[in-house]
Every structure is written in C-alpha cells, then in structure tokens.
Amino acid sequence: MHKALKWILSIIGVVIILIGGGLAYLYFTLNSSGSFANLVIEKGTVQYSVDGTDWKSAVNGMTLKEGYTLRTDMGSKAMILLSNSVTRMDENTSLSLDSLTPQKVSITQTIGRTWTNLLKLSGIKEYDLNTPNAIASVRGTIFTCSYDGVSTKCQQIQSQMEFSSNGTVKTLQPGEALELKAGEFIQTSVDLSDSWIVENGLLDSKYKDQLKSCLEKKYSLAINTALSQNLISQEQLNAFFDDWYAGRIKIADNMDQIPSQIRAMIKNPEDLGNFCVLK
C-alpha cells in the first residue's frame, strides 16, 4: 500500500470526528495564509524596493512579490518563507525576487550570503539562485551560496544541485563545495564546523519544531480528541509529521482514494502554503 494512502486511511477516523465539529481539515488542509512568499525579520532592519531605487523599511511578516528587491544592513538578518521553504539572508545581502510561483522560484543574489532549505512539501518545482557569474539550480535540497562581488561559492549540505556558468554545468553532491573565481571552478569540501553552517543547521531544526508546534496548536482540539479516543497514537502523529516535512507523503497523489465528502473539503492539495507565518 502506498505510504501516503496508508496514512490517509489511518486518520480517516479522526477526520470523521472533526466533521461534526466543523474542523474537518487536520492534515489535509494546511491552508495558505493567502500569500506564497513572506518576510520574517530575524534581526535588525531590512529594506525593500519595488523598482530598485525607492527603498523603504520592510515590515515583519509582509507579503513579498515578484520584482521586489531586499537588502539587509550590517548586523541584520532575515528569512524569506516560500510556502514553508526558507531562504535566509545574512547581513549585507541583497536579493532580487525575479519569479515567485510554485512552478518556479528564481532569485538573483547580487551580494552577500544565503542559506536555503527547499522542502519538497512546499510543492516548488524549480528553484534557481543566480549570482552575476553563476546559477545554482535545485529541486529539494539544503545549500548555502555566497557572492562577494568577484566569486561565487556554493556548498551542498543535503541532496544535490546543478552549478553552472557560461554553459558549463557541475553537479554538487552532499558535502561538496564549488567556487567560481575568474572563470575557474575550484572544488573543495564543506566545512561542517563553519559557524554559518552550524548556525543555520540549528535554525533549521528550530524551524521544524516551530512548524510542528504551530500545527499542533492550530488543530489541538482535533489532535486531543483523536489521542483520547485512541484513534491514533502520539508516535503515529510524530511519524506522520516527519514524513510530511521530509516530503515522503504527498496527499495529492491519492486524492481519488479519499471519500468524496472529505475530498470536497480539501482546498488545494498541491499548495500546502504558509499555514503559519512565523513572527
């Protein structure tokens, strides 16, 4: 039995309970907050521009749109939420948001350093990070890239990426790093003790915990009811969340197996969305 279908069937009893209470969403309807991309200011101040010239102070939680340019000041850090995936901006970093759709996200990094955790659950088909001399193309992965005005360096943490420049394409595997400087590719390995990598690894773990806490809070009545009636165990709930977070479960693949009265309640299984914009 397909893993997603197995989990769907295992919590049908929970959904039936929720129908009576008007909360028949639980794990099927992780509804969007209404926007695909949002800004979370983690530290300091962030500025944005619609036309690249008129700069304004960004607001925490604001909706981001195609064509916006963001920049962090000295001592400032920010996170872009892309339907639950994250791209973090280090201080003194500038990004142009060229394309923001579930089909393709394209960002131009003109200076600075970023960390991207592209989760499969976000439903993003393609993700390109461009610098003035290279392109990093990924699907579902964790990586970091920096551009100092001269060279681009990307480090692959999880899964893989395609790193290209002027028609030359290199594939980075986990633990590999590649720098493009003066037209030359320099391959090294990832330094896992680097403070930027350690910091963001911890932030990713914290972010996962925040998503789980948000989900548990939003559906606390449903979850408590299901647990109290032994319809599902805490271990099963934890395993379901881990599988969903890792992209191993995709509800949309088995929509035809879900009873019609439940299927009608599912808004858009392909777009899980930012059901919890973190402040």
Is residue 184 within 8 Å of 153, Cβ to Cβ?
no
- What is the C-alpha separation between 277 and 275, in angstroms, rounded? 7
> Taken in order 205, 206, 209, 214, is the CA torsion positive or negative?
negative
Task: Give me 155's structure tokens.
Answer: 């480090």
Query: According to the model, what pLDDT value does residue 228 have?
Result: 84
Q: Note down pLDDT in tens along the chain; length 279 residues.
A: 555 555 554 554 444 444 333 323 333 333 334 578 999 999 999 999 998 789 999 998 899 999 999 999 999 999 999 988 999 999 999 999 999 998 999 999 999 999 999 988 788 899 999 999 999 999 889 999 999 999 999 999 999 999 999 999 999 999 999 999 999 999 999 999 999 999 999 999 998 988 888 777 766 776 777 788 787 788 887 887 887 788 776 655 555 544 454 444 444 444 333 445 444
Query: According to the model, what pLDDT value does residue 271 have?
Result: 36
Domain range 37-205, CATH architecture: Sandwich (2.60)
Q: Would you kindly state where each structural domain of the chain is located, as residue ranges?
A: 37-205
Beta-sheet pairing, 126-131 with 104-118: parallel
- What is the C-alpha separation between 101 and 82, in angstroms, rounded? 9
Beta-sheet pairing, 94-100 with 85-89: unpaired
- Nearest Cα neighbor of 11 from 30, 24, 21, 20 is 24
- What is the C-alpha separation between 224 and 202, in angstroms, rounded? 29
Query: According to the model, what pLDDT value does residue 15 have?
Result: 46
- What is the C-alpha separation between 186 and 207, in angstroms, rounded? 32
